[in-house]
Amino acid sequence: MELINPKAQSYAEHFSPQEDALLNQIELETLNHPEKQMLSGPLQGKLLEMFSQITRPRYILEIGTFVGYSSLCLARGLVPGGELHTLELSGETAAVARANFKKSKTDGKIILHTGNALEIIPKLGKPWDLVFIDADKTGYSDYYRMVVPGLKSGALILADNVLFHGQVLEKKLKGKNAKAIQAFNEMVLHDSRVEKVMITMRDGLLLIRKK
Ligand X SMILES: C[S@@+](CC[C@H](N)C(=O)[O-])C[C@H]1O[C@@H](n2cnc3c(N)ncnc32)[C@H](O)[C@@H]1O
Is there a contact between 167 and 207 (Cβ–Cβ < 8 Å)?
no
Residue 187: other Cβ atoms inside 10 A: 13
Mapping DSSP to helix (H, G, I), strand (E, B) and coil, where does residue 51 land?
helix
Nearer to ligand X, 29 or 192 (CB): 29
Residues 121-140: x where in contact with ligand X by CB under 6 A, - otherwise, as a string: -------------xxx--x-
Q: Which of residues 89-118 bind ligand X (CB under 6 A)?
A: 89-90, 93, 116-118
Mapping DSSP to helix (H, G, I), strand (E, B) and coil, where does residue 18 land?
coil
Residue 194: other Cβ atoms inside 10 A: 18
Nearer to ligand X, 65 or 182 (CB): 65
Picking from 30, 32, 14, the residue whose alpha carbon sits closest to that of residue 22 is 30
Rounded Cα–Cα distance for residues 17 and 42 (Å): 8
- Report the greatest alpha carbon distance in the chain: 48
Q: What's the min distance (Å) between Cβ of 94 and ligand X?
A: 8
With CB under 6 A as the contact rule, the residue among 42, 46, 60, 69 that binds ligand X is 69
Nearer to ligand X, 81 or 125 (CB): 125
30 binds ligand X (CB under 6 A): no
> For the residues of 172-210, what is the DSSP string, one character each?
S--SHHHHHHHHHHHHHHT-TTEEEEEE-STT-EEEEEE
Nearer to ligand X, 103 or 152 (CB): 103
Nearer to ligand X, 40 or 185 (CB): 40
Residues 144-183: x where in contact with ligand X by CB under 6 A, - otherwise, as a string: ----------------------------------------
- Which of these ranges, 7-15, 63-71, 169-177, 184-192, lies near ligand X under the rule CB under 6 A? 63-71
Nearer to ligand X, 7 or 44 (CB): 44
47-73 core/surface letters (b: 16 or more CB in 10 A; e: else): bbbebbeebebbbbbbbbbbbbbbbbb
42 binds ligand X (CB under 6 A): no
Total residues at interface with ligand X (CB under 6 A): 19
Residue type at position 140: Y
143 binds ligand X (CB under 6 A): no
Q: How far is CA 204 from CA 4, 147, 210, in A?
A: 10, 21, 20
Q: What's the min distance (Å) between Cβ of 211 and ligand X?
A: 26
78 binds ligand X (CB under 6 A): no
